[in-house]
Amino acid sequence: MGEMQGKTVEIEVTNVAHGGVAVARHEGRVIFVSDAIPGERVLARITEDSKKSFWRAETLSVITASEHRRPHVWAAASIDRAPEDRAGGAEFGHIDIGHQRELKRQVLADSLSRMAGVRTEATVEALPGADNGTGWRTRVRLQVAEDGTPGPYAARSHRVIPVTDLPLATPALAAIAPLDEKFPGSAHVDIVVPSVGNPFVLASGTANADRGHTDRGRAHRIMERVGEREFRLDARGFWQVHQHAAETLTRAVQDAVDESLFDPRASNLDLYGGVGLLAAAVGDRFGNHVRITTVESDSLATDHAAENLVEWTGAAAVTARVEQFLRGLGATAGAHERDSLRRGTVILDPPRSGAGKEVVAELVALGPAQIVYVACDPVALARDVALFAAGGYELGGLRAFDLFPNTHHVEAVATLTRA
């Protein structure tokens, strides 16, 4: 612990950083500060001063407020509370919704400019829903304290905060959230409200200390409807959280594929494919003769993907880690298959950490005609766009979507083609 930790400083907040924090300076030192807005002057407490390049701080009170500040949409996360008692998960809830999208646009544009040398004019598009960005979550995970109390973690900690409401949740989810119940012995509680059928409240087992993970629990099969299409999946399996996200991304991916470069009979790939949502999006646009292989490491999701994609005779679902699958293709593909892969389209929807160096290198070596990259982290996207550029691919179209209102997260859909 350094000599500044725990000290209070008065600072001018100058701009936004990735991760839901703002940037200030104090005596030449960069400070990442939570619960502040660029343009404000705040009183903040230093929480971390061990790094030479920057410190971290939390806002205690606002001296000069931004015109974009509003009462927090979630009282449990309000600046009126002590920082350690503020619920996490709505870190932009004190900012007008339009300005939230502008800050997310700035982070995306800055990341691509700084890391990939790319300028973008993409704005962050709103999804249908409440004007204040509430009422959209169809899935919520509540952590469980030692005494069995459920709630979100406090921001940047593993301390459970009891709450009386969940304003980001859909009304149907909020109505069944067991906020006043106890779950002794459980690690967390998942509340899932699918678009078809009954909702679920699923308490997990305790964390497995030896293996470092929580028991997934028994599978519960649910159904989600996107437009006219239905998808089967496990209640705890991955699905987009915003009630309009799956439909929004389906259309965005369909629009992002350049029809002039798409060959339905080539070796098209859907990587990190989950239960086949985006593979189905491609199939629905280009017809039931499309050849596409979806790759996912979760075997339960892959089983569901095979079922969800059954109407496309050329569709296949493979259980594998993406980097291993691509490595295998690179090692075993003959001349005919390599040509088919080179004519192919790749849908890439990696986790928050992005595709990364190895996956990008394998894709560049295969040389597909186009890559549609669905990204939930702007910094990871920018890093990967730079890696693709070094391999001869350039960024064409880019759109961004506010899939997570009142948080700092933003989704982007990018198209990359051979330069």
Neighbour tally for 154: CB within 10 Å: 22
State how far the Cα of 84 lies from the Cα of 86, in Å rounded to an integer.
6
Neighbour tally for 150: CB within 10 Å: 25
Least Cα distance to 122 among 382, 407, 390 occurs for 382
Q: What is the residue whose two structure tokens read 């798409």?
A: 262
- Tokens at 96, concatenated: 């007008």
How would DSSP label each residue in 14-44?
A: EEEETTTEEEEEETTEEEEEES--TT-EEEE
How would DSSP label each residue in 54-73?
A: EEEEEEEEEEE--TTB---S
State how far the Cα of 74 lies from the Cα of 125, in Å rounded to an integer.
23
State how far the Cα of 377 lies from the Cα of 245, in Å rounded to an integer.
16
The residues that bridge with 229 in the sheet, in sequence order, are 226
Kind plus residue range of the DSSP H or E element containing 270:
strand 268-271
State how far the Cα of 292 lies from the Cα of 306, in Å rounded to an integer.
11
**Of residues 376, 381, 382, 413, which has the active-site annotation?**
376
Q: Is there a contact between 303 and 231 (Cβ–Cβ < 8 Å)?
A: no
Q: What is the residue whose two structure tokens read 């109407």?
A: 311
Residue type, 209: A
Q: 414 — phi, psi (to 5°)?
A: -120, 145
Query: Quick one: 300 exposed, middle or buried, by C-beta within 10 A (0-12, 13-18, 19+)?
Result: middle
Residue 376 designated active-site: yes
- Decide: helix, strand or coil at residue 244: coil
Q: What is the residue whose two structure tokens read 């779950």?
A: 183
Residue positions annotated with a catalytic role: 376
